[in-house]
Chain A
Amino acid sequence: MSDIPTDLNYASSHEWVSVEGDTAIIGISDHAQEELTELVFIELPEIGLKLTAGDPCAVVESVKTASDIYAPVSGQVIETNDALDTEPGTVNEDPYGDGWFFKVRLTDSSELGDLLSPEDYAMQIDM
């Protein structure tokens, strides 16, 4: 049974978004890390990169495959979780906390309205 915190919003591509003012923190959901299984490598976007919602912006690699992570909202990357360089498994252990990927400065906060609520995300992953 996947964990879906109620204080976050979600993209249908399984990223979560936490908003603090004009900054959004982004990671991947518990369902996503379960499906991917143990991660062995994570490629994060460069700081300063300008992202448009829907852009592939990061890559996660499990033992078997590489998967793209998509920007759930538009913004400029202002910080990345470099601890994931040495401990990619943190994403599996704590996808909503220490397993965060990167932060953006939002360029269009109206996009937050396009994200899925926890209930809608739960329905999408069919819980």
Chain B
Amino acid sequence: MNDDLKPLFEHLRESERPSAPAWHPRFLRAPGPEKARLAPRLAFAAVLACGAAFWMLPQKVQSVADLPPLLDSEPRELFASLDAPSTDFLLPTHLTIHLP
């Protein structure tokens, strides 16, 4: 009843068999030690670590008032130390400083 089709399929089978890749025991070797599965976990851990580091960074200063004082010395008269110069012979006359 199927005598016409069966030989055709047999022929197809015979023609396809040579194209089958050769059998090798490595086909049944289990994948390596979780290498492939570790990669996404490591990437996720790295992202978490970066996030935590960013979170722990000191917060930005929001206003000028929050800045630390730049000059922390006691207020005193300008050029007070020049009241009694020991000598001014090196200064040209037009550059002589006249203190108020």
Mutual binders A and B:
no
The residues of A with any CB-CB pair to B shorter than 8 Å are none
